[in-house]
Chain A
């Protein structure tokens, strides 16, 4: 009987340790791992945040969005890959997309692109700089 109790305890401890280790070392989720919440254009997404930021945050924060927009600029360096999508808004607001993994191929500017990314929120600009919606852990949508 004692042997059985000790065996259960050892197995329980081992399972607990394994779960703990898995959780501690679990990888960061990317947009590819999560179900798409909504497909939307960069223009429409920006319009929603500009009109009612509070409501848009409640709807989209941390959600996986499939966004289409024109590629305005990109950064590809040691810190990773980041694309800036035009929203065609009057205040020159943008959607910036930070990729989960650096991309090898350089994209073509001013072309329509489709990306999946987790919505991190909205940063207001000022009278010269438009606002910015940030998507992260992104992947290029197929």
Chain B
């Protein structure tokens, strides 16, 4: 009898663990470059976010060709000259919510947490730490953060004649409305 109870408890804990994953395939990633000459921004609304609330692991993946620019020509230059999207089609972030236990996804509220991990752009990975907010409401978790990335850190070269048009430091915004992942 004890074995049966133990097995049921184990099964329950396994399913409870699996239920701790949240995701979206419609997440947002945006970047913004500001110089005296011009502002350049692009948005990608088809970003996959997966968050495991048990381990705190967070995974973000985006396809480079899905960043939309106002001008088609800018988009072409971004894909061909800067991120070389044929060679490096994805941007990924793999990291961890450091104080994941401070976030109660069963209780509505706004929580802040440090997220750290490795961002790979243009085939080059670099570690980042940023503060993120997690707004829990009615079974959804809206995750949001903003941080800066230097082009040179990811081996993205800006031509000398465009140094005044493209900022060396790009502001990245990330936002995702996450719901429970059920198989």
Contact = CB atoms under 8 A, between A and B. Distances in A.
Interface of A: 23-29, 57, 61-62, 75, 79-80, 82, 84, 92, 94, 96, 98, 118, 120-121, 123-126, 128-129, 132, 134, 136
Interface string B19-30: 001010110000
Interface string B62-83: 1101101001110100000000
Interface stretch (B42-50, B102-110, B112-120, B158-166): B42-50
B56 interface: no
Contact of A23 (B48, B61, B62, B73): B73
Contacts of B41: none
- Per DSSP, chain A at the interface is mixed
Contact of A61 (B23, B71, B72, B89): B89
- The contact size tier of chain B is 20 to 34
A92 B63 CA distance: 20
Interface of B: 18, 21, 23, 25-26, 45-46, 48, 50, 59, 61-63, 65-66, 68, 71-73, 75, 86, 89-90, 181, 183
Closest 9 CB pairs of A and B: A121-B89, A120-B65, A28-B72, A121-B63, A120-B63, A123-B61, A79-B45, A120-B66, A128-B183
21 contacts: A24-B73, A25-B71, A26-B73, A28-B68, A29-B72, A75-B26, A82-B26, A82-B46, A84-B25, A98-B45, A98-B66, A118-B65, A120-B63, A120-B89, A121-B63, A126-B59, A128-B21, A129-B23, A134-B46, A136-B46, A136-B65
